[in-house]
Amino acid sequence: MNKIENLVDESGMITTKKITINNQSKADFYNYLKKNKFEQISRGIYASQEAWVDPLLVAHMRCPKAVISHDAALHYYGLVDREPSAPTLTIYSGYNASRLKSAGYKVFFVKKEYLDTGKVEVIDLDGNAIPMYDLERTMCDLVRNRNSFEIQDFNTALKAYARKKEKNLTRLFEYAKLLRVEKLMRSYMEVLL
């Protein structure tokens, strides 16, 4: 039981994957969960009663290869006021995301070679380290998937980015060229800057 206790992370969560990797008995694990009143918050993810469940961390735990993006990244960077109802993830094309979608996640796909473009590790609003796209990649995703956003959020995010002092236009246009939205991005930025 002490070995299982040591596998509970700082946020008060534990996964069956950790138990398997560390060669712990699943029977002991389930007894530990029952004894300590852990609740299942997602498939294979359990939280103690005292844990604050961070939806972005849970999304990352469910799909470690995915990157937090789009709506969630726009909110994190302060480009939109509205917090997304569920985290938005980007994963490589061909990944079977049916379980993520059925759990309510919004999932976008990119070619495998572009998945890590602009990926950084950030400390989210709940204090957890998660993979997220940087500001410039987030703006490229906004333009690439403009039909997935409400027009008000789209315009608000573009204007907020144009006002930001810490923007990097060189990086923005490098990403835009790579993701094939350079012409469109230039036309938006010419109007706003």
Say whether both 129 and 68 belong to one domain: yes
Say whether both 80 and 16 belong to one domain: no
Say whether both 70 and 135 belong to one domain: yes
Indicate if the pLDDT at residue 1 is higher than 70.
Answer: no
- How far apart (Å, rounded) are the C-alpha atoms in residues 155 and 98? 31
Q: The whole model's pTM is what?
A: 0.86
Q: Phi and psi of 162, rounded to 5°? A: -60, -30
Say whether both 103 and 126 belong to one domain: yes
Say whether both 60 and 115 belong to one domain: yes
Domain with 23 in it? 2-53
Task: Show which of 36, 53, 70 is a domain's final residue.
Answer: 53
- How far apart (Å, rounded) are the C-alpha atoms in residues 164 and 42? 37
Q: β-strand 129-133 against 119-123: which pairing, if any?
A: antiparallel
Say whether both 104 and 165 belong to one domain: yes
Say whether both 32 and 68 belong to one domain: no
Burial of 47 by CB count in 10 Å (0-12 exposed, 13-18 middle, 19+ buried)?
buried
Percent of the chain whose pLDDT exceeds 70: 99
pLDDT band of residue 128 (cuts 50, 70, 90) is: confident
Indicate if the pLDDT at residue 93 is higher than 90.
Answer: yes
Domain count, the chain: 2
pLDDT band of residue 132 (cuts 50, 70, 90) is: very high
Q: Phi and psi of 19, rounded to 5°? A: -65, -45
